[in-house]
Chain A
């Protein structure tokens, strides 16, 4: 893992000291809220419905056990004993008091963490494939690049006052687990004809009010050209991005309004200029970063313990089926720990659970943990022979839910239970859906299905790219939920289509059930997934199923 050098350390400590002073000045009245708000937001501190919220960056979703334990400590001491992992691979604390925040930031700095650039119109935390460095299908670990981007973008004077926030996602594998096409810039590792790794550069993706799938501006960019090329994109955006209208300020609008060919030309022109002056980061720095992400020393001893445990224990077998993915080392597996217990809050972990995860990472996982944008925790490197023991500990901690990728593995943003921007709640909807399908005992039968829920048009819950997306709205003073179908967040990214009028919370669960029943009825066989079936038959049969009842038609009228 990357270790802070003296510069990083001093930088983060200075920011904490600076913020401590700012809080003091706010408290003693020398700063007004108007003056203080941009300062606190620069340090990840929001004010939500019921309390402050501190958003802590987990760079490219990677954590070690010491960091996870520190998060547990913060959850216990300054929150109500839990933390919330988000779709941005961050963690949010929902109940800190203003005066405690400098101390929390100090505790974070002790373990090389911070909350800088988790808010505001800057380049946010770079997100990455949560299987990075472990996945079988990976070309190269994308995290050295992500770390380079973190250093390049942190406090970069040119990128502090962008027209709007800016999100970069990166993956080193052809199977896109990082939703790169829904980011301002998505980087997807590919090989050149000569076999060298480089990046496909995708620009202008994003969800929110105007959802768009990103467009490829470069099919292949050599790795060495990455920074000047990204600087070129940022320059074009900084100069031409709209600042007159907040809703039109993201780069996706610029790309859309300018047209792909012209944007490409503008970027390439800026790139030529940038490249001339670009000297690149010192090679020692690059080497140091690459070394920091060198794979752990794998233990290749073969063992049959894993297979035996699967034969002996059907519950373990079904856990392996959904929660263990192929590792590049055949003696290893990638274990996904679901933070979606039936009826629970997606993405929440208690301090106790965080400690269990830290212990497991230390004992069995080369001290590595990942946060996924799907709000789960990953142990990326577990020897197969150790997975039965890991599973047993997870069970004790209430963390062994075997549902990764299934109907109850729902993404849900905090919605109106916490978020000040929300138009409706999302968590209770997720709770009801997972409880309902658990009762029906249909989850395995249904197979891969991604439900994603947002509590407002900002789409933090990625509903547009859910196979079934749910958007909570305020319809004349009542919570109302719109359904979209057929969304996809992978390399075949698609924005879901709205079915029609929304549903009240009471009717929504029935509608979701009707959609899934329809799928089960029309699929060609059990190997045809929901998304495949939807792509084959289109929206019509599903619409008929959910709007068939007379009272719905009346509502639709």
Chain B
């Protein structure tokens, strides 16, 4: 039986800085998950990943990650790994949490 489809976004690491980035509707990259474009079907997700993967000159290792839709219809990480990626390490106040 097919698993129920969960909305997905495309994320990667910036080629130059190495930090976490998200793919937007205008096929650009932003630092904040809230700005990511959400794919609501498997096909849409694959098309999105295809476009993102064409941008090898900007990012490294784009992949699809599941999200849940929160308040104001903003995507939020579905898995703890992705939640950590939106923040940074927990032992120091470094990374995204310090830059917000």
- A residues at B contact (CB < 8 Å): 26-27, 29, 32-33, 47-52, 80, 95-99, 345, 416-418, 422, 425, 427-428, 431, 474, 477-479
Contacts and interface: CB of A to CB of B under 8 A. Distances in A.
A416 B81 contact: yes
Contacts of B78: 477
A49 B60 contact: no
Contacts of B17: 51, 97-98
Interface of B (DSSP majority class): loop
Interface string B46-79: 0000000000110011000000000000000011
Given A27-B16, A29-B57, A33-B56, A49 B84 contact: yes
A50 B60 contact: no
B35 interface: no
25 contacts: A29-B57, A33-B60, A47-B13, A50-B19, A50-B20, A50-B96, A51-B13, A51-B17, A51-B18, A80-B92, A97-B16, A97-B17, A345-B91, A416-B80, A416-B81, A416-B84, A425-B84, A425-B90, A427-B89, A427-B90, A427-B91, A428-B91, A474-B80, A474-B81, A478-B80
The number of chain B residues touching the other chain, given as a range, is 20 to 34
Contacts of B91: 345, 417, 427-428, 431
A98 B18 contact: yes
Nearest to A79: B94
Nearest to B16: A98
Given A27-B16, A29-B56, A479-B80, 9 more contacts: A27-B15, A49-B84, A49-B85, A50-B88, A99-B16, A416-B81, A425-B84, A427-B90, A431-B91
Given A47-B61, A98-B16, A418 B80 contact: no
A80 B92 CA distance: 10
B56 A32 contact: yes
Nearest to A95: B94
A99 B56 CA distance: 16
Interface of B: 13, 15-20, 56-57, 60-61, 78-81, 84-85, 88-92, 94-96
Contacts of B15: 26-27, 33, 98
Contact of A428 (B16, B57, B79, B90): B90
Contacts of B80: 416, 474, 477-479
Contacts, number: 73
Contacts of A97: 16-18
A47 B18 contact: yes
The residue in B18, B57, B78, B90 that gathers the most chain A C-beta atoms within 10 A of its C-beta is B18
Contacts of B81: 49, 416, 422, 474
Contacts of A51: 13, 17-19, 95
